[in-house]
Structure 1
Amino acid sequence: MTRPPLYTRRPFLAGLLRQLPLLVVLLTVGTGLLMVTFEHWRRGLVVVGLALVGGGLLRLLLPLRRVGFLAVRSRPVDVVLLVGVGVLLTAFALAIPGA
């Protein structure tokens, strides 16, 4: 006898697992923003930028059924926007002269 799929047995758990990539990206962005709040702005912005690059890589590598709400537009548009903004933010944070 085969078991029914997870989304019919436990729909809440299946939905939560589907959103795990987005949760990872949001927690990393939140960590970077906390670093900015506590006056480590350069490191914090680098963490936020790398989180966006990681989100873009997750969007590129994961299949559509596993990526959850990281899939907003088409895959190429999502990847270019996430990676592009992440790289620009990281580059700006590292290019501004520090005190």
Structure 2
Amino acid sequence: MPEQRWRSAAGQHLPFALVLAVVGLGVLRIAQYHWRQGAVLIGIALLIAALLRMLVTDEQAGLIAIRGRGIDALLYSGLGFSVIVVAMTIIGGPFSR
């Protein structure tokens, strides 16, 4: 029965919906003038995408599957860590808060 859930169109897009929900929270925090927290949330969303890409099959990955499993996970995690590091290390400037 769980396999049937993943085969449905809605089930295939659950990983992407989860990542998109976290990105939405990040964009909301940015809109509320908490850009650093929003950027970190977007980085976390990328790390979630990397984790999901490693845990689910290619068919279950849906829209988070772009290339091969290893390449996707490497790129998502690398970009996620980069966004978090940049957001946490910026000091001063017009966006300091």
TM-score range with shorter-chain normalisation?
Answer: 0.7 to 0.9
- In structure 2, the partner of 1:50 is 44
Instruction: Give unpaired runs (5+ residues) of structure 2.
Output: none
- Cα displacement (A) at 1:65: 2.1
Report the Cα distance in structure 2 between the residues aligned to 1:6 and 1:46, rounded to whole angstroms: 35
Calculate the TM-score normalised by the size of structure 1.
0.83
Report the Cα distance in structure 1 between the residues aligned to 2:27 and 2:63, rounded to whole angstroms: 21
Report the Cα distance in structure 2 between the residues aligned to 1:6 and 1:32, rounded to whole angstroms: 32
Of structures 1 and 2, the larger Rg is shown by 1
Q: CA RMSD in A?
A: 1.9
- In structure 1, the partner of 2:29 is 35
Identity %: 33
- In structure 2, the partner of 1:80 is 74
- In structure 2, the partner of 1:19 is 13
Report the Cα distance in structure 1 between the residues aligned to 2:47 and 2:53, rounded to whole angstroms: 10
Instruction: Give unpaired runs (5+ residues) of structure 1.
Output: none
Calculate the TM-score normalised by the size of structure 2.
0.85
- Cα displacement (A) at 1:31: 1.0
**Residue correspondences, number:** 91
Residues 41-83 of structure 1: CA deviation (Å, up to 9, x unaligned):
0001000000100101100111122111111111111111111
Report the Cα distance in structure 2 between the residues aligned to 1:96 and 1:31, rounded to whole angstroms: 21
